[in-house]
Chain A
Amino acid sequence: MTLISKSTNPTKNDKVHRVLLGKKQILVTEDEPLLIQLERAGIHVEYQCREGYCSSCSIKLLWGHVSYPFEPLAWVQSGYLLACCAIVKSDIEIAFFD
């Protein structure tokens, strides 16, 4: 899926973080939410609303830090993140179902 590309965003910042997922490692920026960057890397993540209100994109955050530009309507379980709206702020490790 290539839905939104905000590469022309003027507030672009160049910070790059590593996302560990099992044995994979994906590089992401702070310009876009995690979901779209995972998708670009060919990783399928469950989603529905892509706006933070359905919780379908909830994935485990094993360690590291993410932030939300707006507070999602969906409940965020502790130890989880909502990929569609989370901005990765440090190197992180994530996991799907065990």
Chain B
Amino acid sequence: MGIVFIILSIILFTSLGTVKIPFKNVILAFANNSDNPLYDRIIFNLRLPRVIGTLLIGAILAIAGNDFQMIIKNPLADPFIIGISSGASFGAVIYTALKSVYGIDLPFGIETFAFIFALIATIITFSLAKEGKKIPVVSLILSGVIVGFVFNSISTLFTVLFWQNLLHVNFWLMGSTGNIVWNDLIILTIFLVLQIAVNFIFKKHIEVVAMGDEISIFSGINPEKIKLIVLTINVFAVSVVVSKAGIIGFVGLIIPHLVRKITGPNIYYSTIGSMIYGGIFLGFADLFSRYLFRPTELPIGVTTSLVGLLFL
């Protein structure tokens, strides 16, 4: 059922845009049977990588959110609470400042900078939160807030100083899947597969950790080890997403929360549910962002946040 849903939404999302392509032509193009080279170019060069990328990103964010909520035992946690987003913004701002303000030529692109600083911010958050061998949830959240605050302050300082050069960074940070190309889909797919693999292999372990630290220990499990494995894979996956598409909030918060209302905390069902509905939700958000405001776009992060507001 989920598969049918996804295929139908891919057709829908590919059809709609600044140039509207009839469903029939989309299907013909997919079937390699098209007679309209312009449609083909729009579909295969512009729209399809974006649509599939959006689905993958929605899936990754929602699965990450589900894992975070389960592992830190907070049904309304967001994967961004541990500093990933502020780290990535900081990386992007620093990159642009170095490049366009100071004219320094850098060997990596803005994506790589965002990715590296997302990881650095998370590592700082974890080391601040660490008490002995344990990482208590409350200190993790508090450290996330502190790290976010520090990184954001520096980013803001730079933005105030050099606002002309940094305006487009802010736009980029609010999220867009518009720059996704075919090549990006490979790395996104790899991380989605890794996320699913970890969840399926450690199903029982993740569930018992979500039940509580003591019951994990009484079941012969080291909860800190499981948390580390699950958080690491998700931090990497989300950092890759941020480097490709900026900061897209609320998907990782709302979707898994709603999915679990239906599936319960069972890891098989909640992971698959988060994947499907996270992808489709973000697909609709992207469609909304680019279709309603055509020929220009609303950043997708703004759209998801607006939708998120409806739930609050």
| Chains A and B belong together in one complex | no
